[in-house]
């Protein structure tokens, strides 16, 4: 289990990170394209400024994780194991909620 690792501008595209336990780690400005994140524990991880596209999130733990400023596509909260306290920015809510079938429309 890593609890104090910091990764900055790393390319994790097509990597299999399934089952890794990375709570409280920093994954800043990293690229996650088609990355396998099955059962990964990213509790309280900071992933700001990253790019996440086509990742497989089944049973991942994102409780308390900080995804603000991250480009996200395909993140379905329904397949996560835990996402309580997940931090996202206002601009990300549409992409995340649309995966649940929720239409976010401005007033």
- Report all structural domains of the chain as residue ranges with CATH numbers, in order of start: 1-100 (2.160.20.80)
CA neighbor of 85 nearest in space, from 61, 57, 103:
61
Q: What is the pLDDT of residues 35-93, one digit of tens each?
A: 999 999 999 999 999 999 999 999 999 999 999 999 988 888 999 999 999 999 988 88
Residue 79: what are its φ and ψ, rounded to 5°?
-95, -5
**Does residue 1 surpass a pLDDT of 70?**
no
- Dist CA 83 CA 9 (whole Å): 24
- Residue that the structure tokens 């990213």 belong to: 42
- Apex CA 26: angle with CA 24 and CA 31, to 5°? 130
Q: State pTM to two decimals.
A: 0.88
- Dist CA 38 CA 69 (whole Å): 23
What distance separates the 2 farthest-apart alpha carbons in the chain?
A: 44
The residue ranking higher by pLDDT, 81 or 103, is 81
Contacts of 91 (CB under 8 A, 6+ apart): none
């Amino acid at each position: 289990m890593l609890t104090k690792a910091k990764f900055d501008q790393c390319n994790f595209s097509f990597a299999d990170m399934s089952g890794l336990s990375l709570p409280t780690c920093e994954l800043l400005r990293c690229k996650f394209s088609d990355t396998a994140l099955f059962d990964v524990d990213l509790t309280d991880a900071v992933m700001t400024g990253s790019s996440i596209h086509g990742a497989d999130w089944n049973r991942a733990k994102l409780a308390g994780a900080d995804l603000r400023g991250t480009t996200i596509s395909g993140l379905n909260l329904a397949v996560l194991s835990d996402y309580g306290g997940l931090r996202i920015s206002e601009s990300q809510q549409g992409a995340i909620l649309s995966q649940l079938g929720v239409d976010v429309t401005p007033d």
